[in-house]
Amino acid sequence: MAGQVQRQTGVALWRQIADRIRQAISAGAYDETGMVPPETVLALQFGVNRHTVRSAIAALAQEGIVRAVQGRGTLIERKERLNFPITKRTRFTAGIGEQAREMRGLLLSYSEEKADAEVARGLKIRPGEPVIRMETVRKADGSPVSCATAWFPAGRFGGMPDAYKRTESITKAFAELGLPDYVRATTEITAVHADEADTAALELSPGAILLITKAVNTDLEGVPVQYAISRFAADRVQFTIEN
Amino acid sequence: MAGQVQRQTGVALWRQIADRIRQAISAGAYDETGMVPPETVLALQFGVNRHTVRSAIAALAQEGIVRAVQGRGTLIERKERLNFPITKRTRFTAGIGEQAREMRGLLLSYSEEKADAEVARGLKIRPGEPVIRMETVRKADGSPVSCATAWFPAGRFGGMPDAYKRTESITKAFAELGLPDYVRATTEITAVHADEADTAALELSPGAILLITKAVNTDLEGVPVQYAISRFAADRVQFTIEN
DNA sequence: TATAGTTGTCTATATCAATAGACATTTAAA
DNA sequence: TTTAAATGTCTATTGATATAGACAACTATA
């Protein structure tokens, strides 16, 4: 974990240090002991006062990642970073099935609306045609992993919100609606700072990073069936592309 | 751009606001006027003092994204985002060939070293075997887009640093060294905050976001020829995966 | 040439972030 | 039972962040 923290950047030192420690934990840097190094050691490493390190650790404790025990040290409670393979058969639930015990997709809201230019391009329909929009949040073992906004052609998949609410899975909902299989056509990936809504929904600290995917799924004939913009907590996930 | 900023989170208000405005610009929110709304309007929108908004705009001006003109307003200077397709034939230079006039790869430094566990896993060699490491920065039309650390098996590609320095391209350097074609095997994508070294190399503002790719390229027989960790300025690029 | 609207500069004040040091409290091991 | 090593708590001080208000300087337009 080389490299010093930066001052006067608008990001407090304690937050930078919290981010770095969180990353080191998820990279397995402290697996040998299962503990974060002592505060005095970290303060020396980062070139800051011990109190500043304490602020960082307090933030991580608040997130449930570590637990400080007086006299012993700071224990690591949780270190997951979920991996999402992106392939022709990209599935949210199945993709991380072995990495978490319980995967759930929750429907926050939905509505029927007219496709704007972006959605129309994704679904290969004309702007103004009716689409179903769903806002969802997806959780692994109860911890929120991503928010998604998904659009479906209204004519073919009008029953999607109801089916999704019942099955908590896009794949199962598609199956119920007569589409047993579908494939990932394109995926775009960018990264931005989280805004307020996503910070709340994903239980992030402000200034946190989001990985954004814009994906088009099609049926086996290549007809688009879903356009989705998903927002992932960058410190909890990574994507893998296998060619 | 609804939603208020958050206080006491370790991220200064001016930085949160700068991030939000940057995002709004790149989403085309101000395309109609080509200008950012007046400081007083933004201050009202975000629920902060006008001086706080001014700090945010000063940061964006420092990045070259906007230019404030007394008496007129704050003009948008730049809003582009380069697209990188990730496929079997992923090439940095050719990939964005049509999006920029001039693509260059510059060799910052190189050395011969022994493979650590991560590099050995990527190149499918034993830890400790000799590898060539190159630190490079890649530019589009003179503007830095990414930093990369790349490793090559030393025996087969000892001449890589010299060839790369001459050709400014991995693809051309491989060709010179007797490898006319290669394919992308795997790509991992994550996102983090930029550290000090990358902030300097990519001419970023502190606290900026990096998209990280860890990629393995192989020859046509599937033998790994390159393991590379690239760090992209997230506000200048996006990735596209076509299946 | 006024005038409205905009950015630029200055002073002052309050709060948050960071440093510094001292000492208490708890745990585990000598 | 000591002792070393770790976290917890307290006070004090400095610098960065944020607010508040007033006014100057510049631009475009009526």
Q: What is the mean pLDDT of residues B82-103?
A: 66
* Residue A232 and residue A156 in one domain: yes
A111 touches chain B (CB under 8 A): no
* Residue B96 and residue B191 in one domain: yes
Tell me the pLDDT band of B1, cut-offs 50, 70 and 90.
very low
In terms of residue numbers, what domain contains B32? 13-76
Tell me the pLDDT band of B207, cut-offs 50, 70 and 90.
low
Residue B103, in any domain of the structure? yes
Domain with residue B100: its CATH number is 3.40.1410.10
Residue B2, in any domain of the structure? no
The number of folded domains in chain A is 2
Domain termination residue (choose one: B22, B47, B76): B76
Residue A2, in any domain of the structure? no
* Residue A69 and residue A101 in one domain: no
37-76 on B, CB < 7 Å from strand D: 47-49, 51-52, 55, 69-72
User: Which tokens go with A229?
Assistant: 């913009």
* Residue B88 and residue B57 in one domain: no
| B190 contacts on A by Cβ (under 8 Å) | 211, 234, 237-239
Of B11, B185, B209, the CB nearest to A206: B11
Q: Which long-range contacts (CB under 8 A, 24 or more apart) does B217-223 make?
A: B217/B182, B217/B183, B217/B184, B217/B185, B218/B182, B218/B183, B218/B185, B219/B179, B219/B181, B219/B182, B219/B183, B220/B181, B220/B182, B220/B183, B222/B185, B223/B124
Question: Is the shortest CB-to-strand distance from B14 to strand D under 7 Å?
Answer: yes
Adjacent-strand bridge partners of B189: A239, B213
The pLDDT of residue A13: 87
Question: Is the shortest CB-to-strand distance from B73 to strand C under 7 Å?
Answer: yes
**Which single residue is written with the structure tokens 């390190």?**
A53
Q: Which residue of A has its CA nearest to B199?
A: A6
Amino acid at B190: T
* Residue B149 and residue B106 in one domain: yes
Residue B6, in any domain of the structure? no
**Nearest-CA distance from B183 to chain A in Å?**
9
Tell me the pLDDT band of B4, cut-offs 50, 70 and 90.
low
The pLDDT of residue A74: 93
Residue with more model confidence, B188 or A163: A163
* Residue A71 and residue A89 in one domain: no
Question: Is the shortest CB-to-strand distance from B190 to strand D under 7 Å?
Answer: no
- How many helices (H) and strands (E) chain A has is answered by 8, 11
* Residue A158 and residue A187 in one domain: yes
Tell me: the pLDDT tens digits for A111-170? 999 999 889 989 999 999 999 999 999 887 777 889 999 999 999 999 999 999 999 989
Residue B213, in any domain of the structure? yes
* Residue B34 and residue B145 in one domain: no
- Among A4, A46, A60, A190, the strongest candidate for a mutation testing the B interface, having the largest count of B CBs within 10 A, is A190
Write phi, then psi, for A231 (nearest 5 degrees): -120, 115
Q: Does B11 sit within 8 Å of A207, measured CB to CB? A: yes
Q: What is the mean pLDDT of chain B?
A: 85
Domain with residue A48: its CATH number is 1.10.10.10
Distance CA B13, CA B145 (A): 27
pLDDT higher than threshold 50 for residue B2: no
Nucleotide nearest to A70 (CA to C1'): D7
Complex ipTM over 0.95: no
Residue A4, in any domain of the structure? no
User: Which tokens go with B168?
Assistant: 């400014």
* Residue B116 and residue B197 in one domain: yes
Q: Does A206 sit within 8 Å of B16, measured CB to CB? A: yes
Question: Is the shortest CB-to-strand distance from A74 to strand C under 7 Å?
Answer: no
A188 touches chain B (CB under 8 A): yes
Nucleotide nearest to A52 (CA to C1'): C18
DSSP string, B109-157: EEEEEE--HHHHHHHTS-TTSEEEEEEEEEEETTEEEEEEEEEEEHHHH
Tell me the pLDDT band of A238, cut-offs 50, 70 and 90.
confident
Nucleotide nearest to A74 (CA to C1'): D7
**Sign of the dihedral defined by the CA atoms of residues A45, A50, A52, A58, in that order:** positive
Q: What is the mean pLDDT of residues B217-229?
A: 94
Cβ partners under 8 Å of residue A215, min gap 6: A90, A184, A186, A187, A188, A226, A227, A228, A230
CA of B10 to C1' of C17 (A): 8
Contact B214, A17 (CB under 8 A): no
Domain termination residue (choose one: B47, B76, B105): B76
Contact B214, B232 (CB under 8 A): no
